[in-house]
Structure 1
Amino acid sequence: METHILKTQKISLAAIIDTVATHDLKSELLIPYRAGTALSLDASAVERIGTPGLQLLRSAANSFEGAGFAFTITAPSHAFLSALKDAALDGANTVRTDAGTL
């Protein structure tokens, strides 16, 4: 599917993404999705992210890309990358970051 690049909304992820933060993040992710813009998430500050947060990001990536909008995760922290690996979400074509496809 063709990716539309009209403008990109940038969001910095919180240091701790637990269940409560995941709920808040979902609301924040819906804004650019409903506006039909690309999304760039800065994951450099992430110190801890739980499975619900990772699942939300995976679902968001699918939704954005399915609608033809770019979805990227930039500057993933070591903790973020470790959480992806621990949750077995580091396989090919699961989550794309500026460090490569995870």
Structure 2
Amino acid sequence: MEDKKLQILIETILDKKGEDLIYIDVSQNNPLARFFIITTVTSNRHALAIGQALKEACEINDIPIRNVEGKSSSEWVLVDANDYIIHIFTKEARIHYGLEKLWANYPIMKVN
């Protein structure tokens, strides 16, 4: 993986036990982001913990964060780190929203 910031974000998610981790290169046709990162978590609390860990990793590594969305009762936490949009889903929410299907024409890389 050549993108150091992407690697930092992925390692942070893996350290916090994110599952079924993928990233999608959307840079060719998306002016707002280079990568979408999607992971599955076991609970809403787990989603919040990964979101917080990502926020801290971004601050330490000078990765700008625009916003973190998702409340304690949320099945979907979104971290907008400029070129990196991280979607943290419970299993049910990931199936329901099916983001992988929306971006199926782009290169999808499985991490674990």
- Give the TM-score normalised by the residue count of structure 1: 0.41
- Give the TM-score normalised by the residue count of structure 2: 0.38
Query: Which one has a larger percent strand, Structure 1 or Structure 2?
Result: 2
Query: Which one has a larger percent helix, Structure 1 or Structure 2?
Result: 1
